[in-house]
Amino acid sequence: MPVKVFYTSVSGSIEIKKKQQKILDVLSAKKIEFEAIDISQDSKTKDEMRALANDPTALPPQICNGNEYCGNYEAFLEAIENEQLEGFLKL
């Protein structure tokens, strides 16, 4: 299963937009297959993201592999710094 990146296309937060873009850029550069899922198009998708993250207030971006939660942006960055991205993404 490809990695799922939950994001929003209608955020007023520049910080969220930058975090989302960084994740997508890194995955593309490393040629890691992923599916970008826009939570702003359907409230069920947002609910799915929050259920997978086990956090009723989770904000995008959030990352999963199939139905297994990987982490948020901060955990993603930490995995890159520790050269453990593939383990973090459960590849």
Residue 27: count other Cβ atoms within 10 Å of its Cβ.
20
Rounded to two decimals, the pTM is 0.93
The string of pLDDT tens digits covering residues 9-22 is 998 889 999 999 99
Domain range for 21 is 3-88
Q: How far is CA 66 from CA 15, 18, 21, 49, 81, in A?
A: 26, 24, 21, 11, 24
Q: CA–CA separation, 86 vs 23, rounded Å? A: 13
**Residue 16: CATH number of its domain:** 3.40.30.10
Tally of domains in the chain: 1
The string of pLDDT tens digits covering residues 50-65 is 999 999 999 999 999 9
pLDDT at position 58 is 96
The string of pLDDT tens digits covering residues 21-80 is 999 999 999 999 999 999 999 899 999 999 999 999 999 999 999 999 999 999 999 999
pLDDT at position 11 is 83
User: Minimal CA–CA distance to 37: which of 72, 74, 8, 71?
Assistant: 8
> What would the 3-class secondary structure string for 17-83 be?
HHHHHHHHHHHHHCCCCEEEEEHHHCHHHHHHHHHHHCCCCCCCCEEEECCEEEEEHHHHHHHHHCC
pLDDT at position 63 is 98
